[in-house]
Structure 1
Amino acid sequence: MSGTVKICFIVNPVAGKRAARARCRERLAALTSRSGVVAEFRTTTGNLHARKLALSAIEEGFERVVSVGGDGTMNEVASALVNTGVPIGLVPLGSGNGLARNLGLPLDFDRAVEVALTGGVRTIDSGRVNGQAFFNVMGVGYDAELGRRFNDSKRRGFLTYLGLGVSVFCSYRMQRYEIGTEGNAPVVFDAFLLSVANSTQYGNGAHIAPGASLDDGRLDLVGITTSNPVCVPGLLTRLFSGKMDRSSHVVTISSGRFDILRQLPGPVHTDGEIHEMDTKLEVEVLPMSLKVVVPDGPQ
Structure 2
Amino acid sequence: MADPITKSTRKRILFIVNPISGTRGKESILHIINNTIDNETFEPEILFTRKKGDALQIISEKIAEGFKYFVAVGGDGTVNEVGSAIINTDCVMGIIPLGSGNGLARHLRIPLDAAKAIQVINKLRVESIDYGLVNGLPFFCTCGVGFDAHIGYRFAKEKGRGFFNYVKVALTDFISYKPKKYKVKIDGTQKMKVKAFLITCANASQYGNNAYIAPNADIQDGLLDIAIMSPINLLQAPAIGAMLFTRTINKSTVLQTGKAQKVVIKRKREDVVHFDGEPIIMDRKIKITVVNKGLRIIVP
Structure 1 runs, 4 residues or longer, greater than 6 Å off = none
SS in 2 for 1:229: coil
Task: Report what 1:81 is aligned to.
Answer: 86
Aligned-partner residue type, residue 19 of structure 2: P
Q: Contact 2:10–2:40 at 8 Å: present in 1 too?
A: no
Identity %: 38
Question: Does 2:17 align with 1:11?
Answer: yes
Question: Does 2:179 align with 1:174?
Answer: yes
Q: Which runs of 5+ in 1 are unaligned?
A: none
Distance 2:54 2:238 in 1: 39
Spell out, residue by residue over 1:240-274, the C-alpha distance to the aligned partner (whole angstroms, 9 max, x if none).
12121111101112100001112231111110111
- 1:34 to partner: Cα distance: 4.3
- 1:25 to partner: Cα distance: 1.3
SS in 2 for 1:27: helix
TM alignment of 1:162-201, pairs within 5 A: 162-201=167-206
Distance 1:158 1:238 in 2: 17
Task: Report what 1:237 is aligned to.
Answer: 242
SS in 1 for 2:244: helix
- 1:17 to partner: Cα distance: 4.4
Q: Which runs of 5+ in 2 are unaligned?
A: 1-7
In structure 2, which of residues 105, 118, 123 is the aligned counterpart of residue 118 of structure 1? 123
Aligned Cα RMSD in Å?
1.9
SS in 1 for 2:175: helix
Provide the aligned length of Structure 1 versus Structure 2.
294
Larger CA deviation: 73-82 vs 114-123: 114-123
Q: Contact 1:35–1:117 at 8 Å: present in 2 too?
A: no
Q: TM-score scaled to structure 1, two decimals?
A: 0.92
TM alignment of 1:57-72, pairs within 5 A: 57-72=62-77
- 1:101 to partner: Cα distance: 1.2
TM alignment of 1:200-211, pairs within 5 A: 200-211=205-216
Task: Report what 2:158 is aligned to.
Answer: 153
Aligned-partner residue type, residue 221 of structure 1: I
Task: Report what 2:295 is aligned to.
Answer: 290
Q: Contact 1:194–1:224 at 8 Å: present in 2 too?
A: yes
- 1:157 to partner: Cα distance: 5.5
Distance 1:97 1:3, change over 3 A: farther
TM alignment of 1:12-161, pairs within 5 A: 12-18=18-24, 20-32=25-37, 34-154=39-159, 156=161, 160-161=165-166
SS in 2 for 1:264: coil
Q: TM-score scaled to structure 2, two decimals?
A: 0.92
- 1:196 to partner: Cα distance: 0.6
Aligned-partner residue type, residue 67 of structure 1: A
